[in-house]
Structures are given as C-alpha cells and as structure tokens.
Amino acid sequence: MKLYGYFRSSTSYRLRIALNLKGLAFENIPVSLVTGENKSPEFTQRNPFGSLPMLEADGRDRAQSMALLEWLDEAYPDPAFLPRDIEARYTVRELAYGIATEIHAVNNLPVLKYLKDPLGHTQDEIDVWYRHWLARTLNPVEARLAQLGTGDFLHGDAPGLFEVVLIPQLANARRFAYDLSNSPHMTRIEAACCALPAFAAAHPDKQQDAT
C-alpha cells in the first residue's frame, strides 16, 4: 500500500494510525499541501478531490479518510475499529463522526487560507476562529464521554475508530494552544493512545517530511 499524505494533515495522521493498528505495511509518500502538489493535474486525475490522504491499495486510488477507515475495517477486520454490537458501533461512530464532520473542514488549511486571503483576517483572528470551533465540538464530546463513563478507551480495552479520529484532532488543538485542562476524559484516552507504538509512530513529528 502507498499512503500519499502530509505530516501535519490530521486526516493523513488518521490513516497512519489506522494502518499501524491494522499491522499493514505501507510506503509513506509525502505530498506538500504548502506548495499545492495535491492540486497538480497528475494528482487530481487520481483523486479528483485533490485531498490528502490518498491510499493506493488493492489496485485502486482511494480518497476520503472516513470512507477509508470504514473500508479498512471491512477489508482487514482484525483488529476491529468498531465493536460487533450494533448499539456499541453507534456509540463509537457518534463521537468519531462528530469530530470528523463538525471540526475538520472548518479548521482545515484551505479555510484558514481563505480567512487570510481574500477575507483579510489576522493570524490572531484566525487563532480565535480555530479554538472557537474546537470548543464547540470537543466540549460536547467530553460531555458525552462523561455520560458514557469510559475508561482508557471509548469501548473495551483497545483503541478504535473514535481514537483514530480523536488523537490527530487533539494534536491540532495543542498546536493552537487550546485549553484541555477541563477535558479529563479526552486527555486520559489521549495518554493511553500515545503510549502505544501504532500511535507514536504516526505522529507528525516522526514523518520524513516534518519541518
């Protein structure tokens, strides 16, 4: 498998964790979001979204990280990202998709760039924007975790779809000096995950294109 990604892309980070957890060997191919390599004709012919990550796997160029995570879990079911029980699967997906659908796009690089140009906002205003949308979804995630009464992981004794999505989001939050001191559930899960080699090796700082 070949993973086309960028060290700081949180969706690429999701895939690096996921492939590591599944024990799937992959070649990590850096694509620069800064120089816009992802918008080249060669790349968009393979992935019309011009987005990262793209996974070349089983004879196909695949985009969209959430679709990729669901596909990986169906094509390579062991270890599972989702519980077997339908109710427990819903519990995991509610929080994983909460983060994936409510935070990601709003705080993604193209939107931050657009706020700067053409909209003319300062970096300070953009930082306030960033933390505003983080809080708007991370606070509910924390509240739901409190309601559910979770341990080191949302479900059972191993990370799954939720943790794969949460950890890159928290890394972004820390980069933007977001206050996590009132989020004991998320930070406990974060500590448990970051102690695992699959997560540690996927960290942005460990990638060959890290700057």
Name the site residues for a copy of itself (rule: CB under 8 A). 44, 48-51, 60, 62-68, 70-71, 74-75, 86-87, 89-90, 93-98, 100-106, 110-111, 114, 119, 121, 125, 129, 132-133, 136-137, 139-141, 143-144, 147
Distances (CA, A) of 95 to 86, 137, 153, 167, 179: 15, 10, 12, 13, 20
CA distance 75 to 123: 42
Cis previous bond, 53, omega within 30: yes
Judged by beta carbon, residue 110 or residue 201, the one nearer a copy of itself is 110
Judged by beta carbon, residue 10 or residue 207, the one nearer a copy of itself is 10
Shortest distance, CB of residue 86 to a copy of itself, whole angstroms? 5
Q: Which residues pair with 55 in a beta bridge?
A: 3, 62
Shortest distance, CB of residue 166 to a copy of itself, whole angstroms? 14
CA distance 131 to 1: 35
One-letter identity of residue 85 = D
Shortest distance, CB of residue 65 to a copy of itself, whole angstroms? 8
Shortest distance, CB of residue 36 to a copy of itself, whole angstroms? 14
Shortest distance, CB of residue 30 to a copy of itself, whole angstroms? 22
Judged by beta carbon, residue 111 or residue 192, the one nearer a copy of itself is 111
Shortest distance, CB of residue 49 to a copy of itself, whole angstroms? 4
Eight-class DSSP state of 57:
E
Cα torsion through 202, 197, 195, 170, rounded to 10: 10
By the 10 Å C-beta count (0-12 exposed, 13-18 middle, 19+ buried), 130 is classed as buried
Question: What is the number of other CB atoms lying within 10 angstroms of the CB of residue 186?
Answer: 22
Judged by beta carbon, residue 36 or residue 110, the one nearer a copy of itself is 110
Show the tokens assigned to 174. Answer: 């820390």
Judged by beta carbon, residue 32 or residue 139, the one nearer a copy of itself is 139
Judged by beta carbon, residue 50 or residue 168, the one nearer a copy of itself is 50
CA distance 28 to 47: 17
